[in-house]
């Protein structure tokens, strides 16, 4: 079977396993919007800038002194985007592009805001423009691939992630997103390889560990999954998905103490999270009791 061949049917055993892990794996396809793989593979070229009020004020002073400098405007827009101030970010990116219609980075940055706000057609147009201007711009291929994956255009997404990786072999985010693509096609061995590469390139993010754990669970390697989820909750102690998935992994390993403790941690993060509540109840968990999670 080729790595991108979709699986159209499932055996009964696969269906039973899928039913058990459905709650844990449900969020896997959504992880890419929040995962930033660090300075080695930024989706925004200025991703190392801090989105602090003082930094925004400083950049605003630069823009005021240089109102016709597209780089200064683009840089402030990037920080606005990091701060969640999307409309102000769009205003700056629009201004940067009006000052320099060939400003590749501003198109990719604007596309990122469009993508995060669900305006996928506009995002795709901007990524296409960025690639037209610079056919070796890995950031644009990565972003366009994420749009294609969101639109379930699997082959297009696969080609874009491959291109991003060929241009930037240190692009942790491209490996991670290609891994999600493999995972969606139940190509878990390929997914695990990509998540492993992503983890090797950036070891302080929880999402690749969670994603790899979900693939391990899909092939019944719950020991490896539990190990990854230990790392995930260490990297991100407030990750609802990591704690819930960890509870499931340890439940399948027969470690009720760690399983119940993991579900309890998830419930503490969100008391209405049904998968964690169901797992905790399944184990006869008792609220108020202290569980050993490690």
Domain boundaries, the chain: 205-294
C-alpha distances in angstroms, 289 versus 45, 247, 268?
47, 16, 13
**Backbone phi, psi, residue 186, to 5°:** 60, 30
Tokens of 260: 């119940």
Could you read off the pLDDT of 217-256 as tens digits, one per residue?
999 999 999 999 999 999 999 999 999 999 999 999 999 9
From the CB of residue 32, how many other CB atoms can be counted at a distance below 10 Å?
Answer: 22
Token code pair at residue 85: 């101030």
Number of Cβ within a 10 Å radius of residue 13: 9
Task: Tell me the pLDDT of the chain averaged across its residues.
Answer: 86
Greatest alpha-carbon pair distance for the chain in Å reads 67
Mean pLDDT of 26-43: 35
Q: Place 204 in a pLDDT band, splitting at 50, 70 and 90.
A: confident
User: What residue spans of the chain are helical by DSSP H?
Assistant: 12-25, 53-65, 70-82, 86-99, 104-116, 120-133, 138-150, 154-167, 172-184, 188-201, 206-218, 222-235, 240-253, 256-269, 274-282
Is there a contact between 245 and 226 (Cβ–Cβ < 8 Å)? Answer: no
pLDDT score at 43: 56
Mean pLDDT of 256-263: 97
Higher pLDDT, 196 or 14: 196
Give residue-wise pLDDT tens across range 139-155. Answer: 999 999 999 999 999 99
Contacts with 265 (C-beta within 8 Å, 6 or more apart), sequence order: 233, 243, 293
| Range name among 34-38, 126-130, 233-237 with the lowest pLDDT average | 34-38
Mean pLDDT value of segment 116-132? 97
pLDDT higher for 115 or 56?
A: 115
Choose the CATH number for 205-294 among 3.30.420.40, 1.10.4190.10, 3.40.50.2300, 1.25.40.10: 1.25.40.10
Q: Quick one: which of 262, 230, 199 has its CA closest to 35?
A: 199
d(CA 294, CA 192) in angstroms, rounded, equals 24
Q: Does residue 41 carry a pLDDT above 90? A: no
> What is the reported pLDDT for 16?
34
DSSP code, position 34: T
Share of the chain above pLDDT 70, in %: 83
Average pLDDT over residues 82-95: 94
Going by pLDDT thresholds of 50, 70 and 90, the confidence category of residue 51 is low
CA–CA separation, 232 vs 29, rounded Å? Answer: 17
Mean pLDDT of 88-115: 97
Both tokens assigned to 3 = 């790595």
Residue of 60 and 115 predicted with greater confidence: 115
Measured between alpha carbons, how far is 208 from 200 in angstroms, rounded to an integer?
A: 10
Local structure of residue 72 (DSSP, 8 states): H
Residue 54 has, within 13 A of its CA and on its CB side, a CA count of 0
Asked whether the beta carbons of 262 and 240 are under 8 A apart, the reply is no
Q: Of 18-22, 145-149, 272-276, give the lowest mean pLDDT range.
A: 18-22
* 62 pLDDT tier (thresholds 50, 70, 90): confident
Between 65 and 159, where is the model more confident? Answer: 159
| Cβ partners under 8 Å of residue 198, min gap 6 | 37, 172, 173, 175, 176, 179, 208
């Amino acid at each position: 079977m080729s790595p991108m061949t979709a699986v159209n049917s499932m055996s009964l055993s696969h269906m039973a396993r899928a039913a058990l892990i459905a709650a844990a794996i449900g969020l896997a396809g959504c992880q890419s919007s929040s995962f930033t793989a660090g300075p080695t593979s930024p989706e925004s070229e200025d991703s190392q800038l801090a989105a602090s009020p003082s930094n925004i004020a400083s950049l605003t002073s630069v823009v005021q002194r240089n109102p016709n400098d597209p780089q200064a405007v683009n840089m402030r827009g990037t920080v606005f985007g990091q701060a969640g101030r999307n409309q102000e970010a769009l205003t700056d990116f629009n201004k940067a592009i009006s000052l320099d219609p060939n400003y590749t980075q501003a198109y990719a940055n604007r596309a990122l805001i469009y993508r995060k706000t669900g305006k996928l057609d506009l995002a795709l147009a901007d990524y296409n423009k960025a690639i037209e201007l610079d056919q070796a711009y890995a950031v644009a291929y990565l972003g366009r691939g994420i749009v294609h994956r969101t639109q379930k255009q699997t082959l297009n997404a696969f080609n874009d992630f491959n291109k991003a990786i060929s241009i930037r072999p240190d692009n942790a985010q491209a490996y991670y997103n290609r891994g999600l693509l493999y995972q969606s096609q139940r190509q878990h061995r390929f997914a695990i390889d990509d998540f492993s590469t992503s983890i090797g390139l950036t070891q302080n993010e929880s999402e690749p560990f969670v994603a790899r754990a979900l693939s391990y669970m899909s092939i019944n390697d719950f020991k490896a999954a539990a190990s990854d989820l230990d790392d995930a909750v260490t990297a991100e102690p407030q990750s609802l998905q990591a704690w819930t998935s960890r509870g499931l992994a340890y439940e399948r390993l027969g470690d009720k103490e760690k399983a119940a403790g993991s579900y309890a941690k998830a419930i503490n993060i969100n008391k209405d999270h049904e998968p964690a509540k169901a797992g905790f109840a399944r184990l006869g968990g008792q609220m108020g009791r202290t569980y050993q999670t490690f």
